[in-house]
């Protein structure tokens, strides 16, 4: 009888040992990769942030995802940036001006701000961080960055967006999304060399933008006027 009782207990303990797997949250830099010991299969719930091959995970963009290991173990994964040129702008599209004021912690709120344009000067590596409102709701944001930061700006944006060039006439823009497709993204960006000394990065909702030129339901001239107005108000001649 004793043997009959002990044997099932030993088997149960053995099963528990087989099920032990380290699910401690993982943090990686945007250029990192990590081998998951004991993993036979790995799936990332957000491959824009990180993707897996065999038993190895490769960081792709800044953000958070969850790894499903061997079909059942869940490991939270955070990808952190190597570049922090300026704090990411508030991209809660449709939010109020007060909400932006409460969440934009970097830079000095300019007295030149208006009822439709909120601007912060010296926001980290951005000379100006601006927010445009329509009917009291956040429509778009813009960062004006010195061309002296051009190389760092590119690396900074590539960590956060999937970017491709877009050509229109003699001008070149760079369009990016924070997802593997427009359907899975929240924010779109449009980067352009505005002048010999300044680069503009416009942010807007993917729901009202297109990588084919109709960006933020504005014409190219509207975007140029927006950048020009910020430059006139906040940058030296």
Say what the pLDDT of residue 135 is.
94
The residue-averaged pLDDT of 130-137 equals 94
Say what the pLDDT of residue 210 is.
46
The residue-averaged pLDDT of 2-30 equals 63
Mean pLDDT of the chain: 84
- For residues 188 and 206, give the distance between their C-alpha atoms in angstroms, rounded to a whole number: 5
Q: Do residues 17 and 68 touch, judged by C-beta distance below 8 A?
A: no
User: Residue 50, CB half-sphere, CA atoms under 13 Å: how many?
Assistant: 32
Q: How far is CA 20 from CA 14, 76, 126, in A?
A: 10, 17, 48
In degrees, rounded to 5, the angle at the alpha carbon of residue 48 between the alpha carbons of residues 157 and 127 is: 15
Task: Assign domain 2-80 to a CATH class.
Answer: mainly beta
Q: pLDDT band for position 237 (50/70/90)?
A: very low
Say what the pLDDT of residue 15 is.
45
- Sign of the Cα torsion 42, 22, 180, 164 reads negative
Say what the pLDDT of residue 179 is.
93
- For residues 110 and 11, give the distance between their C-alpha atoms in angstroms, rounded to a whole number: 70
């Amino acid at each position: 009888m004793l043997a009959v009782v002990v044997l099932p207990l030993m088997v149960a303990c053995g099963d528990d040992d087989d099920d032990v797997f380290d699910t401690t949250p993982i943090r990686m830099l945007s250029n990192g990769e990590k081998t998951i010991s004991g993993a036979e299969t790995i799936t990332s719930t957000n491959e824009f942030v990180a993707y897996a091959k065999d038993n190895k995970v490769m960081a792709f963009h800044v953000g958070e995802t969850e790894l499903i290991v061997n079909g059942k173990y869940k490991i939270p994964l955070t990808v952190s940036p190597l570049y922090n040129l300026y704090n990411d702008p508030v991209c809660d599209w449709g939010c109020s001006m007060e909400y932006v004021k409460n969440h934009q912690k970097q830079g000095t709120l300019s007295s030149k701000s208006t009822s439709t344009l909120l601007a912060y000067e010296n926001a980290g590596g951005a000379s100006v961080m601006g927010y445009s409102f329509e009917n009291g709701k956040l429509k778009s944001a813009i960062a004006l960055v010195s061309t002296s930061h051009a190389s760092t700006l590119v690396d900074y944006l590539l960590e956060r967006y999937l970017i491709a060039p877009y050509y229109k006439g003699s001008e070149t823009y760079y369009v990016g999304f924070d997802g593997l497709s427009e359907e899975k993204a929240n924010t779109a960006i449009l980067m352009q060399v505005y002048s010999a000394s300044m680069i503009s990065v416009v942010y807007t909702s993917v729901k009202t933008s297109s990588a084919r030129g109709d960006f933020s339901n504005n014409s190219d001239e509207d975007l140029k006027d927006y950048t020009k107005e910020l430059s006139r108000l906040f940058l030296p001649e």
